[in-house]
A and B are shown apart, each in its own frame.
Chain A
Amino acid sequence: MKSKAEKSQFSKLISDNGIWVVLVVLIIAITIVNRNFFTPNNAVALLTGEAVKGVMTFGVTLAILSKGIDLSTGSVAALSAICSAALCQASTSKLWAGLPTMPAIVGILGGICIGLIVGFANGWMVAYLRLHPFIATLGTQLICRALCKLITPGPVSKLTPGFRFLGNGKVGPFHMIVIVMIIMFIILAFMLKMTRFGKSVYAVGGNDQAARVAGINVEHTLVKVYMWCSFCAALGGVLLAGRSDSADPANTGLNYELDAIAAATVGGTSQTGGICRPSGVIAGILIMGVINNGMVMMGVNDQMTFIVKGLIIIGSVAFDMRKNAVKK
């Protein structure tokens, strides 16, 4: 009898952390094909490459948890990247010619402020105008991308080393961009597990009427959710600009919102709201990264990356739905 109880506990552990199992299997499979995959060098390439999308995923996770969505994050990242980069251009041919080169902190805060403003607008429209989040954030997505192209037709580049530090710098052997991702993850996990706000988001996403009855201010919670989401996106934009030494109005952050939503979803964040495990989200991000990087390592055709990604998104959601249905 004891062994049966142990077995069911083990199977519960596996089913709760199925996503980590998938990740480990993927890593082993790719390593068998190409041993260079499992090296410190490649781990650095993978993590630094995925850090920006990771940070943006931490944002959209909260929106999905509240039974919403945020489609504007890619454009917000671009707008933040362009404005912050323009404030911290080192070169002689600047976008804003008259402007002196600002200290890095001004550029970074400038970009983040833009994010908070857009986030507030998104949250206000969702909470008070009762717009469907899909529509509200689709609107801001278009507006932010157009603003980028109005501000500059071409890339804003040659940025100051101070500004680039977050995206490109190193502390000892550790890359700053990865450290930022880890810090943002800790904040997300702490917020969800330890704070009143985190519990409120779970409650609002699970059943907003019940949350209201329980005395939660649903509107305030939603505004904060979308501000956090855009904050993460804007920070992602600052990292992107720093990492590539350039911010491009047409390409920067293009379709990143979809990658972020995919990673959060693969990580077990349910589109029906109220269900999310922070550890799952980080696994979702790593899976997307392992696929991106692993397909290059295995040297397979480019388009296979998208096919595999598509299958994993569909498969993981199908698996989660069954699991959650059993719970209910």
Chain B
Amino acid sequence: MKKMKLFATLAVTAAMVLSLAACGGGSSAAPAASDSGSTGGGAAAGGEKITLIMSQRDEFLSSLEAGAKKAAGELGVNLVTQDANQDESKQIQYVQAAAADGQKAIIVNPINPSACQSIIDAAGDMKVVFVNRVPDDTSILNENAVYVGSDEHTSGKFQGDFLAKYFNDKGQKDIKYILLRGIEGQTSTTLRSESVLQALADNGINATETYAKSCLYDRTEALNQMGNILADASKEFDCIICNNDSMALGAIEACTQAGKTIDFPIVGIDATADGRQAIKDGTLAMSVFQDPNGQGGGAVAAALNLINGDALNANTNFEVDETGFILWVPFEEVTPDNVADYDNR
């Protein structure tokens, strides 16, 4: 038994040492908070070191991270990324670690858009670039703290305008809809849902909710919940509005499995690879493209521009808003007509 214990202790110790050694290469640069560190590819060792703090790594944000790393390689920036895993205190901790490391700028994908001031406070003398999620209070932005990303108020607007045109062309003013919502409490869920309904109303469509359900941005959850909804014949609807493509694909799958012909529009957001395929197949009516490479690359360029004192949009194709502290990366509508253009973006 004693031998067994000794062996077990040794085995565990060895595993710990090995796993630390495996991480060692990338994370030795980030002090105090090095558990999930990784450095941008191809950067010269002497380049400006900038930390990108992710709120989490879902599909879209992973593409954003890849876009940022690619741009960092091109601009000669030594980009280190950290994943705060939806934990606000961890996010602040990473900001402080970067400040202690003497970095000049930091890129943050904020977990909570209403608590961005605390990130600016923690950053001290560092320049701050918020990416992907716009701070609730944009008045906190200034020459040392900027935002790069898209305006979530417009993503749902594209869906609403599309649906309004569809139903206006049919001469139908009163519609019933099913809304599959993302994770409750997240800004994207709230804004996407609000803006699609607002756009319908603005275009003179009287939309009534048959049922709204949170499906956590998840395909399987949407498949299950939509299956439950379809089993109830009393729930009538003219369209299915989804806060993202994954849920739209789940809804499509549920219709297929329930033997329901998709002769009504299903709309999504993100224009993921699977979503674009569904648009080509004619099952998904439209989606809205959010540009991950544009946001990630734009954020790195903006950080470098802040450090060097250049114009915010130098080295990018994007426009700065009238305050000068926001770099807009626009949403784009994706329909069967232009879906092929997005295959390599």
Contact = CB atoms under 8 A, between A and B. Distances in A.
Interface stretch (B113-121, B122-130, B213-221): B213-221
A245 B58 CA distance: 18
A45 B8 contact: no
Contacts of A296: 211, 213, 225, 228-229, 232
B216 A251 contact: yes
A42 B232 contact: yes
Interface string A283-313: 0000000001100110100110000000000
Interface in A235-255: 240, 243-246, 248, 250-252, 254
Interface residues of B, number: 43
A195 interface: no
Contacts of B62: 149, 153-154
B242 to A, nearest CB: 14
B228 A297 contact: yes
Given A251-B216, A299-B211, A302-B212, A41 B274 contact: no
A48 interface: yes
Interface stretch (B43-51, B245-253, B297-305, B334-342): B245-253
Given A93-B273, A155-B246, A248-B246, A49 B57 contact: no
Interface string B45-74: 000000000001111001100100000000
B272 interface: yes
Contact of A39 (B216, B231, B257): B231
B184 interface: yes
A213 interface: no
B230 interface: yes
A293 B272 CA distance: 29
A154 B272 contact: yes
How many A residues are at the interface, by size bracket?
Answer: 35 or more
Contacts of B277: 91, 158
B198 interface: no
A254 B224 CA distance: 14
Given A128-B8, A248-B59, A45 B219 contact: no
Interface of B: 4, 8, 12, 56-59, 62-63, 66, 184, 211-214, 216-221, 223-225, 227-235, 246, 249-250, 253, 257-258, 272-274, 277
Given A49-B228, A155-B246, A251-B221, 20 more contacts: A34-B232, A36-B233, A37-B232, A41-B258, A45-B230, A49-B223, A49-B227, A168-B257, A244-B250, A244-B253, A246-B246, A246-B249, A248-B218, A250-B56, A251-B219, A251-B220, A251-B246, A252-B220, A293-B228, A297-B232
Interface of A: 34, 36-37, 39, 41-42, 44-46, 48-49, 91, 93, 128-129, 149, 153-155, 157-158, 168, 240, 243-246, 248, 250-252, 254, 292-293, 296-297, 299, 302-303
9 contacts: A41-B231, A42-B232, A91-B277, A153-B62, A243-B223, A246-B249, A251-B217, A251-B219, A296-B225
5 closest A-B pairs by CB: A153-B62, A42-B231, A45-B231, A154-B59, A49-B224
